[in-house]
């Protein structure tokens, strides 16, 4: 392929991506006005329902503006060869080739993060604030940003550094070695997420003795699942939205409950939510999704190895010599249709797993408290009761609330 064809291909993919997501977003936005299904009545009163509609409209409009803007910035950068221009600049200032890649990715990361900053601020302090979700103070926001940057510089710097070194040492087979590195890193992050990363941003406290802990212990003994490490996270520091998750593998696994979740739900509902999470473990969803992500990364790296030293790809983005980092960037754009398809397949699998975890919770605990917990979560998060099926198919990692409740009601 000539560099011109590659450029047009990348521009075509960028336009297709944008239009595809736009169409889905518009369909979903219209779908909100559909009547509320019978299984979902009583979640909102009339006033709260109107508020949820206003919230979703605000979020939709805001993301439409920011995605349109970044689309045009990207088109301009491709059309005017800005990536190639940046490549020439970093080569001129970097004393060795190795550093030019680090500069290149570093500059792109900080430029896009700083361009996105006004949107971040508006989203948090105007939209989320207006609907009563935001609890982030300006101080927390600034500290989060600084910690995030520091972490990216350290972790990202090491990852990019290892990648560059492997490409230089093994131009053909680097992808196998880098694949091993990422797989080890993924397992490592999963194991130490709650002990190393979360404490940088939040406070974790072990769940104190009391009736909630007793109820959880009682359930976990019944299903033969050790739940010794239960922690409460101060999610209320940033938002009133609620959540719960598991982290870690094997005996080291931890359950993390948001303080906001505990405040808003009854003990029965909390145990039901945990029973759902236990279902993910018992059905081996966590291990399988990790295996699949590792396989997906391997496939991606192999494809990347096919074009990483292509001069035509570098020229397509406006570079005047063959540039490894330009090719990595171009690969990301060329790969995007494949990654959309993989994403849809992963969401299909994830939704199937959610049904299974719900069923597990219904069978081993109870149906009613899980349904009422899900309804409450939707109401406090001002969630959409009638998302468009096409939007759900592409973007939802969980089935819609209606689908989940109807499936749970069918469990004998
Ligand atoms: Zn789940």
pLDDT digits 0-9 by tens, 28-71: 999 998 999 988 988 999 899 999 999 999 999 999 999 999 99
CA distance 236 to 204: 12
Please tell me the distance between residue 357's alpha carbon and the centre of ligand 1 in angstroms.
6
pLDDT average, residue stretch 142-146: 96
Under the banding of pLDDT at 50, 70 and 90, the label for residue 140 is: very high
Please tell me the distance between residue 353's alpha carbon and the centre of ligand 1 in angstroms.
7
Please tell me the distance between residue 47's alpha carbon and the centre of ligand 1 in angstroms.
30
Q: How many residues does the chain have?
A: 412
Please tell me the distance between residue 352's alpha carbon and the centre of ligand 1 in angstroms.
10
CA distance 393 to 396: 6
Q: Is the pLDDT of residue 196 over 90?
A: no
CA distance 104 to 323: 11
Which of 138, 141, 126, 122 has the alpha carbon at shortest distance from 66? 122
Helices (H), 233-335: 259-264, 267-282, 285-307, 311-316, 324-334
Please tell me the distance between residue 273's alpha carbon and the centre of ligand 1 in angstroms.
9
Please tell me the distance between residue 285's alpha carbon and the centre of ligand 1 in angstroms.
9
Please tell me the distance between residue 356's alpha carbon and the centre of ligand 1 in angstroms.
9
Please tell me the distance between residue 265's alpha carbon and the centre of ligand 1 in angstroms.
17
pLDDT tens track for 293-352: 999 999 999 999 999 999 999 999 999 989 999 999 999 999 999 999 999 999 999 999
Under the banding of pLDDT at 50, 70 and 90, the label for residue 376 is: very high
Please tell me the distance between residue 135's alpha carbon and the centre of ligand 1 in angstroms.
26
Please tell me the distance between residue 255's alpha carbon and the centre of ligand 1 in angstroms.
13
Please tell me the distance between residue 351's alpha carbon and the centre of ligand 1 in angstroms.
8
Q: pLDDT averaged over the chain?
A: 94
Q: Is the pLDDT of residue 253 over 90?
A: no
Please tell me the distance between residue 57's alpha carbon and the centre of ligand 1 in angstroms.
26
Please tell me the distance between residue 277's alpha carbon and the centre of ligand 1 in angstroms.
6
pTM: 0.90
Which residue's entry shows tokens 């938002």?
Answer: 239
Q: Is the pLDDT of residue 254 over 90?
A: no
Q: Contact at 8 Å (CB) between 104 and 90?
A: yes
Please tell me the distance between residue 249's alpha carbon and the centre of ligand 1 in angstroms.
16
Please tell me the distance between residue 279's alpha carbon and the centre of ligand 1 in angstroms.
8
CA distance 311 to 304: 14
CA distance 7 to 9: 5
CA distance 385 to 148: 34
Q: Is the pLDDT of residue 250 over 80?
A: no
Structure tokens at 399: 């089935």
Please tell me the distance between residue 280's alpha carbon and the centre of ligand 1 in angstroms.
7
Q: Is the pLDDT of residue 412 over 90?
A: no
Centre a 10 Å sphere on the Cβ of residue 157 and count the other Cβ atoms it contains: 13
Please tell me the distance between residue 380's alpha carbon and the centre of ligand 1 in angstroms.
18
pLDDT average, residue stretch 125-154: 95
Please tell me the distance between residue 276's alpha carbon and the centre of ligand 1 in angstroms.
6
Please tell me the distance between residue 51's alpha carbon and the centre of ligand 1 in angstroms.
27
Please tell me the distance between residue 64's alpha carbon and the centre of ligand 1 in angstroms.
28
Structure tokens at 34: 């559909």
Q: Is the pLDDT of residue 192 over 90?
A: no
- pLDDT, position 362: 97
Please tell me the distance between residue 134's alpha carbon and the centre of ligand 1 in angstroms.
25
Burial 28-63 (b: 16+ CB within 10 A, else e): bbebbeeeeeebbeebbeeeeeeebbebbebbbeee
Structure tokens at 272: 């039901």
Please tell me the distance between residue 411's alpha carbon and the centre of ligand 1 in angstroms.
17
Please tell me the distance between residue 205's alpha carbon and the centre of ligand 1 in angstroms.
23
- pLDDT, position 164: 93
Please tell me the distance between residue 52's alpha carbon and the centre of ligand 1 in angstroms.
23
- pLDDT, position 178: 98
Which residues of 83-211 form beta strands (DSSP E)? 204-206
């Amino acid at each position: 392929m000539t560099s011109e064809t590659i450029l047009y291909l990348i521009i075509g993919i960028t336009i297709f991506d944008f239009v595809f997501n736009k169409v889905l977003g518009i369909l979903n936005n219209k779908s909100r006005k559909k009547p509320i299904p019978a299984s979902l009545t009583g979640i909102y009163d009339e006033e709260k329902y109107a508020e949820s509609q206003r919230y979703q409209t605000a979020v939709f409009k805001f993301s439409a503006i920011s995605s349109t803007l970044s689309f045009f910035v990207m088109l301009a950068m491709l059309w005017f060869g800005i990536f190639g221009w940046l490549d020439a600049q970093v080569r001129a200032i970097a004393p060795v080739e190795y550093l030019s890649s680090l500069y290149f990715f570093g500059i792109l990361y900080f430029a896009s993060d700083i361009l996105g900053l006004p949107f971040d601020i508006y989203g948090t302090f105007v939209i989320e604030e207006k609907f009563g979700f935001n609890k982030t103070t300006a101080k927390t926001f600034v500290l989060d940003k600084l910690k995030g940057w520091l972490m990216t510089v350290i972790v990202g710097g090491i990852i990019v550094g290892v990648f560059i070194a492997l490409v230089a040492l093994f131009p053909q087979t680097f992808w196998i070695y880098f694949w091993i590195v990422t797989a080890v890193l993924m397992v490592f992050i999963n194991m130490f997420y709650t002990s190393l990363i979360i404490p940088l941003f939040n406070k974790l406290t072990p769940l104190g003795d009391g009736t909630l802990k007793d109820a959880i212990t009682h359930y976990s003994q019944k299903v033969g699942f050790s739940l010794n490490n239960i922690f409460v996270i101060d999610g209320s520091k940033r938002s009133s939205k609620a959540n719960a998750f598991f982290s870690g593998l094997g005996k080291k696994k931890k359950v993390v409950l948001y303080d906001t979740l505990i405040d808003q739900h009854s003990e029965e509902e909390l145990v039901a939510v945990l029973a759902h999470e236990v279902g993910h473990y018992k059905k081996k969803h966590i291990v399988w999704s990790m295996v699949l992500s590792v396989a997906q990364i391997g496939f991606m790296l192999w494809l990347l190895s096919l074009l990483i030293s292509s001069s035509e790809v570098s020229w397509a983005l406006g570079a005047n010599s063959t540039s490894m980092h330009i090719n990595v960037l171009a690969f990301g754009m060329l790969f995007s249709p494949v990654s959309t398809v993989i994403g849809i397949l992963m969401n299909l699998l994830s939704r199937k797993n959610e049904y299974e975890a719900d069923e597990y919770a219904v069978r081993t605990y109870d149906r009613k408290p899980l349904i009422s917990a899900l309804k409450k979560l939707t109401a406090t998060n001002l969630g959409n009761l009638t998302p468009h099926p096409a939007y759900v198919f592409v973007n939802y990692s969980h089935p819609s609330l209606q689908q989940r409740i109807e499936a749970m009601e069918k469990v004998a």
